[in-house]
């Protein structure tokens, strides 16, 4: 997909679609005057029309084809682009040829499926807090799982640390210490906090699905391109057809 469209595009969105930066960081580039449209300094709210020439630091930028990767994040890899103290930042682990970023984090101690892309629109759709996007996890804890634990996890709870309520979710006991959970929200360290509030400690947490995308047999630490069929289904779910 090219970032250049028949309809005008706001400049911060255009920069994100071209893989220059996130929409949030685009505001900083606009403030320092390094972005120009047809030779004129771009302002917040400026729009890019078909045929416009957009430059960043004097170099022309153009839309790029959409790239979507599926990555099996190992434990120990940090979801960060800028933290110089991180021992294993995700962008250095993947070493992709162009700028991509993640649509949703996994904490350093967790593993499993992640989506990485150069499409700022897709990331915005994925991260929209009001959206009900299913994410499925397999979790192991340090104590035997009881019926009461499953009921409380599934029914939703108030997380004191975050001062926020969790949405009701699907929870299924798979073994003495293992359960499956499907969330439709992404509060910070949500599963670990939910378990901790009930007196349990998570010993292993692996994400196996995001919407229609499955981890399947993708090896730990490896990535692959999304298939055409997977991409079409994902865009349909996100309303980006």
> Tens of pLDDT along 81-134?
766 677 888 888 888 888 888 888 899 999 999 999 988 778 888 887 566 899
Q: What is the pLDDT of residue 241?
A: 64
Burial category of 204 from C-beta neighbours within 10 Å (exposed 0-12, middle 13-18, buried 19 and up) = middle
Rounded CA separation 38/93 (Å): 38
Clarify whether 107 is annotated catalytic.
Answer: yes
Q: What is the pLDDT of residue 6?
A: 58
For residue 24, what are the contacts with CB-CB under 8 A and spacing of at least 6?
A: none
In angstroms, the Cα distances linking 213 to 72, 113, 156, 195 are 12, 9, 25, 26
Tens digits of residue pLDDT in 30-77: 888 889 999 999 988 899 888 888 998 888 887 667 889 999 999 999
Q: How many CB atoms lie within 10 A of CB 73?
A: 28
- Greatest pairwise CA separation for the chain in angstroms: 66
Q: Which residue did the predictor score with more confidence, 15 or 231?
A: 231
Q: What is the pLDDT of residue 239?
A: 85
Q: What is the pLDDT of residue 129?
A: 59
In angstroms, the Cα distances linking 7 to 2, 12, 49, 67 are 13, 15, 7, 22
Sheet holding 40-41, edge to edge: 40-41, 35-37, 54-56, 59-61
Residue with tokens 């003495």: 176
Q: What is the pLDDT of residue 115?
A: 95
Tens digits of residue pLDDT in 174-213: 999 999 999 998 899 999 999 999 999 999 999 999 999 9
Q: What is the pLDDT of residue 1?
A: 40
Mean pLDDT comparison of 78-82, 131-135, 143-147, highest-scoring range: 143-147
Select which of 25, 32, 65, 107 is catalytic: 107
Helical spans, DSSP H, in the chain: 11-17, 23-31, 90-94, 120-127, 147-155, 190-197, 228-238
Band the pLDDT of 2: cuts 50, 70, 90.
very low
Measured in degrees and rounded to the nearest 5, phi and psi for residue 104 equal 105, 135
Q: What is the pLDDT of residue 12?
A: 84
**Please, what are the domains in the chain?**
9-61 (3.10.290.10), 68-129+216-238 (3.30.70.580), 135-210 (3.30.2350.10)
Q: What is the pLDDT of residue 17?
A: 73
Question: Which DSSP state fits 143?
Answer: S
Q: How many CB atoms lie within 10 A of CB 190?
A: 20
Residue with tokens 């804890």: 141
């Amino acid at each position: 997909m090219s970032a250049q469209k028949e309809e005008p595009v706001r400049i911060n969105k255009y920069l994100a679609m071209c893989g220059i930066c996130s929409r949030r960081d685009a505001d900083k580039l606009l403030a320092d005057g390094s972005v120009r449209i047809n030779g004129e300094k771009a302002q917040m709210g400026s729009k890019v029309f078909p045929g416009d020439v957009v430059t960043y630091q004097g170099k022309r930028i153009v839309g790029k084809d959409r790239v979507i990767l599926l990555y099996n994040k190992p434990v120990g890899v940090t979801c960060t682009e800028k933290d110089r103290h991180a021992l294993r930042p995700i962008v250095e682990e993947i070493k992709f040829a162009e700028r991509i970023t993640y649509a949703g984090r996994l904490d350093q101690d967790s593993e499993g499926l992640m989506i990485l892309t150069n499409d700022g629109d897709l990331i915005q759709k994925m991260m929209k807090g009001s959206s009900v996007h299913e994410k499925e996890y397999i979790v192991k804890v340090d104590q035997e799982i009881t019926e009461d634990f499953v009921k409380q996890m599934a029914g939703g709870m108030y997380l004191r640390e975050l001062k926020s309520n969790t949405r009701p979710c699907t929870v299924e006991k798979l073994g003495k210490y293992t359960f499956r959970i499907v969330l439709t929200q992404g509060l910070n360290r949500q599963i670990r906090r939910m378990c901790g509030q009930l007196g349990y400690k998570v010993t292993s947490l692996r994400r196996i699905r995001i919407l229609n995308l499955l981890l399947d047999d993708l090896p730990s630490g490896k990535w692959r391109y999304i298939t055409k069929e997977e991409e079409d289904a994902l865009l349909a779910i996100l309303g980006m057809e």
